[in-house]
Amino acid sequence: MIRLIGLNLILLLVWFYIPQKVEIENIKPILSEPMLAIGSIDPDSQLVVDEGYIQVKQHCQSCHSMALVTQNYFSREVWLEKIRWMQAEQNLADLGESEKPILDYLAKHYNQNHKPGGKSISGRRRNLDPEWYKLD
Ligand code: HEC
């Protein structure tokens, strides 16, 4: 009788232990992936967190620092030129379906009129917009 109670107790302990373990394992991947608020700066890459920044991290980090991205402010056309130049000269792969979200992201956050968070991360000045006048 006492043995039977002992066995039941062990079974009960095992039963309690297993579901708990599974729960902890389920939570892990969520905890290891930091949840970053949109508009904040990703501490890993210094990119502004927004739609498309994951694709930028996936496609643009392997050859050079992300500082090359975050310190530049280009129009969408110039970003595309830079990508085409890297593809022609620097072995950058075809970006496939990621090209549009990457361009959307770069043109939104790293365009020539915008500096993320209102902070100036050492970068290029805005293009000059001189008032041209006719030479006599
Ligand atoms: C296969 C390698 C490679 C990958 C991947 C790559 N680049 Fe580059 N990129 C380069 C090289 C090489 C340079 C020239 C670096 C230098 O001048 O020191 C460069 C330069 C740049 C520059 C500076 C251009 C200029 O005219 O000042 C920017 C901006 C840039 N990359 C953005 C990106 C973005 C955005 C991505 C992702 C779409 C990316 N890079 C992915 C190789 C790469």
For residue range 45-95, what is the model confidence (pLDDT) as tens digits?
A: 999 999 999 999 999 999 999 999 998 888 899 999 999 999 999 999 999
Q: Is the dihedral of CA 59, 63, 69, 74 positive or negative?
A: negative
Q: Give SS3 for 53.
A: helix
Q: Which atom of ligand 1 is nearest to the CA of 56?
A: 37
Same domain, residue pair 73 and 104: yes
**Is residue 105, in this structure, part of any structural domain at all?**
yes
Give CA–CA dist 19/127, Å, rounded.
Answer: 61
In a domain, 128, yes or no: no
Residues 19, 58, single domain; the answer is no
Ligand 1 pocket mutation, candidates 45, 48, 82, 125, criterion most atoms within 8 A of CB? 82
Per-residue pLDDT at 28:
45
Higher pLDDT, 102 or 131: 102
Distance 65 CA to ligand 1 centre (A): 9
Q: Is residue 43 part of a domain?
A: no
The CA distances from residue 61 to 12, 25, 55, 73, in Å, are 50, 30, 10, 18
CA 42 to centroid of ligand 1, rounded, Å: 19
> Can you give the pLDDT at residue 105?
96
State residue 20's pLDDT score.
56
Which pLDDT belongs to residue 135? Answer: 87
The verdict on the CB of residue 64 being under 6 Å from ligand 1 is yes
pLDDT tens, 1-38? 677 778 888 887 777 666 555 555 554 444 444 678 89
Position 102 in a domain: yes
Domain of residue 83, CATH code: 1.10.760
Average pLDDT over every residue of 93-105: 96
Q: Is 61 in the pocket of ligand 1 (CB under 6 A)?
A: no
* Tokens representing residue 78 in the block: 């110039």
- Give me the pLDDT at residue 31, please: 43
Instruction: Confirm whether 71 is domain-assigned.
Output: yes
- Whether residues 70 and 103 fall in one domain: yes
Domain holding 85, by residue range, is: 53-118
